[in-house]
Amino acid sequence: MSCSQRHRYLGCRAARALALSFLTAALAAGPATAQDRLERFELFAQGGVSAFTRAAQMFTYFWPDSPDFFRYFRFREENSFGASGRLFTGLRYYLTRNNALEASYSYSPNRFRLTITVTSYPPDPLFPLQTEFFSWPMAVHNVAFDYVRYLPAHHRLHPFVTVGLGFAVFEVDYYGQARFAANLGAGVDIPLRPRIYLRGEFRHFLTQRPGFTGFTTITHNFVPSVGFAIKF
């Protein structure tokens, strides 16, 4: 074997060894690279319960029975939105593994209930206690834009917290009224497959009551839900 042939032979052996080394390194690094790759987008769909707080107010009306005697009537007005189910869906965009932005929409079929109670003083059989009940079907639409922060994972649990702003639309008899809304919440993701997660969370929405209720107070909407999230 000449010197040039020997160098060619050694060069081929070195090239094969180098190629084999690169192939082995690529196969070893392949799963880790796929595992470390950040899926930027996520779609989620959840279902749960939607419960609102009540509101009540009282006012007094004076009625002269005679020039020297006044009877007064006390009115108590209470309105409430009943508890119902809620559908919750949206999209998350991951800035990093622990920080994401979220846009969501939720729908809740509901009822607007109004109770008016009238009492008179002094008590009089001619003016007995009267209570009137009214109820209308109502739909609540929520649109929210949130910041999501993931906390350190515990085994297979990936907890997170959310805070955001948006608006709520209350619809009664084809009449809708929008109100500014804020929300905060917390939840946890449990991986089922590489890109599929089981999610449970609790959201607290704070919204001003619509004008048709006769109140301007803040209503609290508590929403526990569970569903699935897919990352891509």
Which of the four CATH numbers 3.40.50.1820, 2.40.30.10, 3.20.20.80, 2.40.160.20 does domain 3-25+38-231 have? 2.40.160.20
pLDDT in tens, 91-131: 999 999 999 999 999 999 988 888 878 777 767 677 677 77
- What does R_g of the chain's alpha carbons equal in angstroms? 32
Query: Residue 3's pLDDT band (boundaries 50, 70, 90)?
Result: very low
pLDDT in tens, 15-63: 454 444 444 444 444 443 444 688 999 999 999 999 988 777 665 665 6
pLDDT on residue 135:
83
pLDDT in tens, 121-174: 767 677 677 777 778 888 999 999 999 999 999 989 999 999 999 999 999 887
Q: Which pair of tokens denotes residue 128?
A: 């007995």
pLDDT in tens, 173-229: 878 899 999 999 999 999 999 899 999 999 999 998 887 766 778 889 999 999 999
C-beta separation of 189 from 198 below 8 A: yes
Residue of 113, 179, 114 whose CA lies nearest to 141: 179
CA dihedral 97, 99, 100, 101 (to 10 degrees): -160
pLDDT on residue 122:
67
C-beta separation of 200 from 226 below 8 A: yes
- Percent of the chain past pLDDT 90, that is, above it, reads 48
